[in-house]
Amino acid sequence: MTFHINDAPRPQPSTPNAPHTPVSPVTEPISFVGSPPVEPQYTYSPFIELDRSTWSRLAHELEQPFDQSDVERLRGLGDKLSLTEVAEVYLPLSRLLSIYVDATAKLREASNKFLGESTRRTPFVIGVAGSVAVGKSTSARVLQEMLRRWPNTPRVELVTTDGFLYPNAELRRRGLMERKGFPESFDRRRLLRFVSDVKSGVPEVRAPMYSHLTYDIVPNQQIVVRRPDVLIVEGLNVLAPPRPRSDGTSGLSVSDFFDYSVYVDASYDAVRKWYVNRFMELRSGAFANPDSYFHRYSALSDDEAIKTATGIWDRINGPNLVQNVLPTRGRAKLVLTKNEDHHVKRVLMRKI
């Protein structure tokens, strides 16, 4: 059975099938006394690589807007979010995003002036992608709260793509319950229409609501989005390219409507370990609720729980990561790479 644990709280494999290619630094020029000058040799990359210490210095003049209660409220199960992480990683990222929001507004004004038109501001849309258990939900929630505190983006909404999964009854009808979380388990047409409507400035757009307790779409309940300044769309496959049609053409993808995108990354082995650890914590937490879809796992012994979680990862979430999620990493405009301790160690930012 497929299994996504996310406490409303939800990489880079170290395997040969999905290698992580580091960005090489610029090579220094080499010269010798009495020899002609040697032209510098460069390793070109579409990304700028910044280590944690370099990135954190970008926030040295910014005030920390969070306190410990904010961290506790936003931190996902198993994540190691701290005030230091917020200040050194997410504060500069939120400032960067606010700069992009301002620049987009100015570009719209310039376009209106050039065209002699008057179009109203539409939401700035941010995609947040990454594996199950990598901490992308925590990243999305932190960014939502931070962006709300910048004066130009007081209204920030967050929608996860879980709500666009087909209901369990439909997944069973299609034989997809064992592939829940794979691209084919989502109603992508509905998700595309939702993001397109928001980006088009539709006054009120509705999205289905998902329950991690019942592991299903909640009947007759919806999330309503009303012209936010920023919309964050978080999910496994939000950076996936458009699917080819039978006639060889391709349509739109959800990421075509993104103004910015973030991929939360970590090694395959680290994410696998985090997934198993979170399963163990939920066994005595959310799984203990009799209404939980996973209540049957609450009585497992430690050995049984580890074996069950590892089997689910190796059968479902690991293959989905390698086949569908990780290949979209290069499409992101910014990659947050975590170390084994769940802390961001490096930022890759697209130059082009």
Binding-site residue set: 130-137
What are the binding residues for ATP? 130-137
Alpha-helix runs per DSSP H in the chain: 52-56, 68-74, 83-85, 91-115, 136-148, 168-174, 188-200, 268-283, 302-312, 318-320
Q: How far are the Cα atoms of 4, 139, 178, 241 from residue 126, in angstroms, in the given order?
A: 22, 12, 29, 16
CA–CA gap between residue 344 and residue 52 (Å, rounded): 7
Helix/strand/coil for 48: strand
Picking from 50, 118, 19, 42, the residue whose alpha carbon sits closest to that of residue 351 is 50
- Count other Cβ atoms within 10 Å, centred on residue 201: 13
> What is the C-alpha R_g of the chain?
22
**Cα gap 27→40, rounded to integer Å:** 7
Asked if residue 1 lies in contact with residue 312, where contact means CB atoms within 8 angstroms, the answer is yes
- Secondary structure letter of residue 97 according to DSSP: H
List the end-to-end C-alpha distance of the chain, in Å, as a whole number.
41
3-state DSSP assignment of residue 259: coil
